[in-house]
Structure 1
């Protein structure tokens, strides 16, 4: 059970859920999805909004029945065992360094759009963000949850203002041809858009903080689904209707839309917002990811050297260095190999989707069979399995992470069994490891 005193109201919980889902992806996703599927990307957006309903309701049902700060990792552990819970942790931990370069390049694109310099400016901003956020976290600094929520509010407001200002310039002929790259491209676009919808699992980890979880969690979740769905669909549709084919070529779609609707020097403003949002998101993910890595190492699911700094109030600098170092390496690899953002984003979303597969699979196993919540979980599991297939070869990264996790944990368990025999001592049950659920929760709510 959660050790946090119950204090969340329905509006507060809805705001936190919205904040967990809305993120940096929205500043560039409309352009990336349009580049993959053209106007038919709207079908992918709608599909992800519809998928959010059973997915969010499934995690809400789990949270209401089993309120625990560990969230999805705890449920996976209940259903499939501690090693499966450790695999969830690995998926989160190794998705961060893959996702950090695209996130930082999104902000870099807005800065380049405002100041000029093209790709060099975007990459320079990405390097500064990855390095700077890593150093800030190493110093033990991070933005508070309240500041994170304010930044999300700024993003939601900017999206609303942008849509309202630009929509009068919409042209229906911009939606033709509707599927220039074929209907198969819609699936790839949907797999990419998981980036913008990741965060529904945080609904479960918040459940223990509501006054009445069984009543309040579904209400807050319903509000969050409606708000997120309306904002995303409105922005995606407006981008295509106003910018037309130029949407796919835009490095800063929010700036282009706002400029079309308002005019004037709005690009500097949107660039500043994009950078602040990215700093906030990366700071939260680096802090949560570093703690998660240290907790996994403490529990024997990662090399023990990474466990240093896992105690309360400590800074897990070794784990943080691994996250930041991998992030920089992926950025360099992406630039040298000219990969672009999409492949890295699909690799990261593959990890998120696999977490959803494990989480909804746990719900199918744990929820009362045959009930409405169970059938909702079945629909959610089926949907995320389809998304995992649509991820294509990029899912190999996520599957490889899970296989490596299970192999490492198996080897670590064997070492723990052998060590007491060598020293002639008995292994106490409490020494076998601790639950990493709360560390996963930090990352889920980042």
Structure 2
């Protein structure tokens, strides 16, 4: 039975953008700065360049075979059931681990808002968010798409406001020692933050539920990549320029 096509361009853009803007922006920059200093900005740029081939190939596959399942379907069709199953399981595990990483970040932010938050409360908050988003995905892609649009608009608006308000306070002396650990540290940091772009290609998993997939999948992915890349660079730039090391 074919799935209903209920996602438009806005839904594709918001699913791809929302999947990228998570722990890669709210958790990793501090770790990246510790490894590469202000050069973490270039690390995000380099990681974005490296994800382009994956984006192009996934957009091509999802356009040619707009079926639910994403990587599982493509590999199963080309290499057989066993490799397809292995790819599907690997994809599920990667999503589970990335989600767990994001939930760790939610717990950390809870402690920033309320420092006396206990470890048990942090775990309870993380579990509550996990259950909430799990139930949300069970109600259907149409409702998920609408909620994702609202969440991404709020998220992009908040980040844009942060950039505008923080930009005047940027201290240029924070960039004086731009690459303190050398080129090797820059490259290893780019590998670390590469996960920040991992959500871009996940939208292919719902390709069967996208209207006019030949247009909306590649266009939505390209727009999401461009917007999020700019957000990453601007947020890391102003954060480096404002926050004392």
TM-score, normalised to structure 2's length?
0.84
Once the two structures are superposed, the pairs formed by residues 272-311 of structure 1 within 5 Å of their partners are none
- Provide the C-alpha distance between the structure 2 equivalents of 1:152 and 1:238, rounded to a whole number of angstroms: 21
Q: Compared with structure 1, are the counterparts of its residues 125 and 153 closer, same or farther at alpha carbon in structure 2 (3 Å cutoff)?
A: farther
- Provide the C-alpha distance between the structure 2 equivalents of 1:170 and 1:130, rounded to a whole number of angstroms: 33
- Provide the C-alpha distance between the structure 1 equivalents of 2:179 and 2:128, rounded to a whole number of angstroms: 41
Alpha-carbon distance, 1:211 to partner:
3.5
Query: Counterpart of 1:373?
Result: none
Contact 2:69 2:206 in 1 (8 A): no
- Provide the C-alpha distance between the structure 1 equivalents of 2:118 and 2:196, rounded to a whole number of angstroms: 21
Contact 1:104 1:126 in 2 (8 A): no
Q: Compared with structure 1, are the counterparts of its residues 61 and 95 closer, same or farther at alpha carbon in structure 2 (3 Å cutoff)?
A: closer
- Provide the C-alpha distance between the structure 2 equivalents of 1:128 and 1:56, rounded to a whole number of angstroms: 36
- Provide the C-alpha distance between the structure 2 equivalents of 1:66 and 1:4, rounded to a whole number of angstroms: 14
Residue 154 (structure 2) pairs with residue 158 (structure 1): no
Give CA-to-partner distance per residue, 1:392-427, whole Å, 9 cap, x none. xxxxxxxxxxxxxxxxxxxxxxxxxxxxxxxxxxxx
Query: Counterpart of 1:128?
Result: 124
- Provide the C-alpha distance between the structure 2 equivalents of 1:122 and 1:106, rounded to a whole number of angstroms: 15
Q: Compared with structure 1, are the counterparts of its residues 237 and 113 closer, same or farther at alpha carbon in structure 2 (3 Å cutoff)?
A: same
- Provide the C-alpha distance between the structure 1 equivalents of 2:151 and 2:121, rounded to a whole number of angstroms: 19
Q: Compared with structure 1, are the counterparts of its residues 32 and 123 closer, same or farther at alpha carbon in structure 2 (3 Å cutoff)?
A: farther
* Greater radius of gyration (CA): 1
Tell me how many residue pairs correspond in the alignment: 239
Query: Counterpart of 2:48?
Result: 49
Alpha-carbon distance, 1:59 to partner:
0.8
Contact 1:108 1:122 in 2 (8 A): no
TM-score, normalised to structure 1's length?
0.48
Q: Compared with structure 1, are the counterparts of its residues 228 and 113 closer, same or farther at alpha carbon in structure 2 (3 Å cutoff)?
A: same
Query: Counterpart of 1:197?
Result: 197
Once the two structures are superposed, the pairs formed by residues 350-389 of structure 1 within 5 Å of their partners are none
- Provide the C-alpha distance between the structure 1 equivalents of 2:71 and 2:159, rounded to a whole number of angstroms: 30
Alpha-carbon distance, 1:244 to partner:
4.3
Give CA-to-partner distance per residue, 1:327-350, whole Å, 9 cap, x none. xxxxxxxxxxxxxxxxxxxxxxxx
- Provide the C-alpha distance between the structure 1 equivalents of 2:150 and 2:56, rounded to a whole number of angstroms: 25
Once the two structures are superposed, the pairs formed by residues 328-367 of structure 1 within 5 Å of their partners are none
Extract unaligned runs of 5+ from structure 1.
246-446
Q: What is the SS of the residue equivalent to 2:177?
A: coil
Contact 2:106 2:126 in 1 (8 A): no
